[in-house]
Amino acid sequence: MIGLILANNLVLVSLFIHSLMSNVQPQKRQSLRKLLSLCLGLTSLGVANTSSAEDKKLLIGYWPIAAGLPFFSAIEKGFFKDAGVTVEAVKFASPSQVVEAMIAGRIDGCANGVAITALALADAQSPGTIKFTCVNFANEKFVLDEIIVPIGSSVKDLAELSGKKVACGPGINNVTLAKAILQSAGAKDAKVIELPIAQILPALSAGQVDAAYILEPTGVIGTQQKISRVLAAGVVSKYVIGDYLPWIGGAAALSATCLKEKAALIPKYLSAYSQGVSFVRKEGLNANQYLAGYTAIEGELAKSVPISGYIDHSEVKPNDIRALQKLFDVFAEKKVFENQILALPLFYKKT
């Protein structure tokens, strides 16, 4: 955009100089011609430099949650800079906004934490437009998802939530998973109620709901404030996916347009992102210091927020594909996906 403005302004100046030539003495025309040549040269230089800068930059969208930690760490530790690629982090208020920006071409990709079902749905509209480069998962070891109840609740088992009011965060993804968990756990006729995330703990405290399906750090906050306790953890993996497979709930991804038009940057970017994943695995909770500035998680809270599990594009195994396919099949069965979506083609493969 800057290059275009520069070019337009210099072209206008050039046209003005050209118009003057017919009104000046012959001996002055040579000086005007030199000035005209200089303007045209600056136009070319400005456009070329701007184009070069844009070609060397990747715009990566992120949702401000803990699962984006490898991306945040890679920026703050200088991994992208050391790899020779400029990365600009672009914050969005929701996963759907990130996905919409990718499809519209306003950003080149996204960091971990963006709902993988939203990415899959977007790709289904135009197959081949999105490729997963790293996925984040949860299970009983890497805890992200939980069912919590008021701290004084007598409920000891998920099946006891039959006929009860169970809150969840907003959106079809949360509602679908909450209903699937409760149904599988034997909680018959439980009523799932969508609430803004910030209202879930107050609703539990006020007795407006009997339980809630939540994602961290809501569980940690509830425990610290003595509002709630964890009834069950790793619930999507256990009750929805099954077979001891992980719940692959989010992904980092790149658009097909970016992979084609900025191909020279991709190996550098992916290598630096992989360094971010390795750093988080090695440092564990110490890496949470880099959540500050990107999320609302900082200070004492950051010391307790669980770390997600991550599978980089070069680490994907058949069981990982099977786990994601089971999730997609559940969403197809629940009519969230209009048609079946295959997991395997969505993963990035080096060509």
Q: What is the pLDDT of residue 19?
A: 52
Domain boundary among 195, 211, 233: 233
Q: Are strands 191-194 and 57-62 parallel, antiparallel or unpaired?
A: unpaired
Residues 253 and 340 in one domain: yes
Residues 61 and 34 in one domain: no
Q: What is the pLDDT of residue 93?
A: 87
Give the whole-angstrom CA distance, residue 294 versus residue 305. Answer: 15
- Are 147 and 238 in contact by the 8 Å Cβ rule? The answer is no
Residues 94 and 47 in one domain: no
What tokens appear for 10 in the block?
């210099």
Q: What is the pLDDT of residue 350?
A: 85
CATH number, domain containing residue 151: 3.40.190.10
- Number of domains the chain contains: 3
Average per-residue pLDDT in the chain?
88
Give the whole-angstrom CA distance, residue 332 versus residue 339. Answer: 6
303: amino acid identity, one letter = K
Which phi and psi (to 5°) does residue 140 adopt?
-70, -20
Q: Is residue 273 part of a domain?
A: yes
107, pLDDT greater than 60: yes
Residues 292 and 339 in one domain: yes
Q: What is the pLDDT of residue 171?
A: 86
- Edge-first strand order for the sheet with 165-168 is 191-194, 165-168, 211-215, 145-150, 228-233
Q: Are strands 109-115 and 57-62 parallel, antiparallel or unpaired?
A: parallel
Domain boundary among 172, 201, 233: 233
233, pLDDT greater than 90: yes
DSSP annotation of 292: B
Q: Is residue 91 part of a domain?
A: yes
Q: What is the pLDDT of residue 227?
A: 98
Q: Is residue 239 part of a domain?
A: no
Residues 152 and 277 in one domain: no
Structural domain boundaries, residue 312: 57-140+245-346
- Are 348 and 313 in contact by the 8 Å Cβ rule? The answer is yes
pLDDT digits (tens, 9 = 90+) for 28-46: 556 545 544 544 454 444 4
Residues 266 and 134 in one domain: yes
Q: What is the pLDDT of residue 31?
A: 53
Which residue shows structure tokens 């906004």?
97
Residues 61 and 40 in one domain: no
Residues 125 and 251 in one domain: yes
Q: How many CB atoms lie within 10 A of CB 155?
A: 16
